[in-house]
Amino acid sequence: MSNVLLFNLTTVLFGAASVLYLGALYAKNDRIAVYGSWVCALAAVTSTAALGVRWLESYRMGIGRIPVTNLYESLVFFAWSVNLFYMAVERKYGSRTIGAFVMPIAFLTMLFAVTNDSTIQPLVPALQSYWLHAHVITCFVGYAAFAVSAGVAVMYLLKSRREREGVSGGVVGRLPESRVLDDLVYRAIVWGFPFLTAGIITGAAWANYAWGTYWSWDPKETWSLIVWLVYAVYLHARITRGWHGRRAAILSIVGFGTTLFCYLGVNLLLSGLHSYGGG
C-alpha cells in the first residue's frame, strides 16, 4: 500500500533528522541543525500525506474510517504529533538543540510501528462513532506535548548540573539556559494537560456510546486517570507550591513514563477493552 511506503519514508526522515540534530550538537555546527529542521518539515509533509492516503485507501476498501484505530496507526499518529509539536517549539524558542532530545522519540516510535501489522482493518460496529475522532486526536496531542516536556526535562537535568558545577563548555554548554528549559517543561505540560483532559472526557462519552457506561475501571481508564493525576500534581505543585527545577523535571519524566505505560503497556500487556495484544 502506498501509505505504508510513505510512512517508511517518514521513518527514514525522522532518523535522518535525529542524526542531524545530534551531529550538530556534538559538532557544534548550527548549519547541520538547520538541515535537521528542513528534514523535519519534509517529514511533516510526508507523514501528513501518508495519513491522508491511508484514510482515502480505507474509503476505497469500503471501510472509510479515520486512520488512528489500531496500534500501527496510533504509533504513526503519535510520531506525527510529536514532530509537529516539536516544530512549533523550535519556531517559538529558536533552539534547534531541543531536536536532539525530542526527534529520537518520534524516530523510535516509527521504528516500533514498522514492526506491527500495517493492514487496514474495519472497526467493529460498536466502535464506529465520531467520538473516536475527538478522543484519539485529543489524547495524542496531549501525549506529544508530554513527550516534548520529558525530552526538555532531560536537557534541564543535564544543563542544571553543569551550571551548579560552574562548567559552561562542552556539548551541554550548547543547550539553552536552565531557566528557559524549566519554563518550556512547564509550558508543554500546560499545553498538553487540557488535551489529555478532553481525551478522557471524550473517551468516557465514546465508552457510553459503545458499551452503555461512561466509566468501567478498565485498565486503560484507570491508567489514564493515573496519568491525569500525575500531571495535575505537577501543575498544582508548580502553581501553588512554586515547584520548579530538578523536582519538576523529574516529575515530568515520571509523567511521560506513566503516559507510555498507559499508551503501550496497558494495551500490550494487560487484558481489557483497549488491548491490542489480546484482541
Model pLDDT, residue 219: 84
pLDDT at 279 over 80: no
Average pLDDT over residues 17-35: 92
- Condensed to tens digits (0 to 9), the pLDDT of residues 175-212 reads 888 889 999 999 999 999 999 999 999 988 888 877 77
Instruction: Give residue 133's pLDDT.
Output: 82
- The pLDDT of residue 46 is above 70: yes
pLDDT at 120: 86
Q: Where is average pLDDT lowest: 45-49, 143-147, 160-164, 245-249? A: 160-164
Look at residue 104 in the predicted model and tell me its pLDDT.
96
pLDDT at 108: 96
Q: Please report the DSSP string for the chain in residue order.
A: -HHHHHHHHHHHHHHHHHHHHHHHHHHT-HHHHHHHHHHHHHHHHHHHHHHHHHHHHHHHTT----S-SSHHHHHHHHHHHHHHHHHHHHHHH--STTHHHHHHHHHHHHHHHTTS-----PPPGGG-SHHHHHHHHHHHHHHHHHHHHHHHHHHHHHHHHHHHHT---TTGGGSPPHHHHHHHHHHHHHHHHHHHHHHHHHHHHHHHHHHS-S----HHHHHHHHHHHHHHHHHHHHHHS---THHHHHHHHHHHHHHHIIIIIHHHHS-STT-SS--
**C-alpha grid cell for residue 241?**
507550591
Radius of gyration of the chain (CA): 19
Label residue 274 by pLDDT band (50, 70, 90): low
Q: Is the pLDDT of residue 276 over 50?
A: no
The whole-angstrom separation of Cα 51 and Cα 76 is 9
Q: What is the pLDDT of residues 107-146, one digit of tens each?
A: 999 999 999 888 888 877 766 777 888 888 999 999 999 9
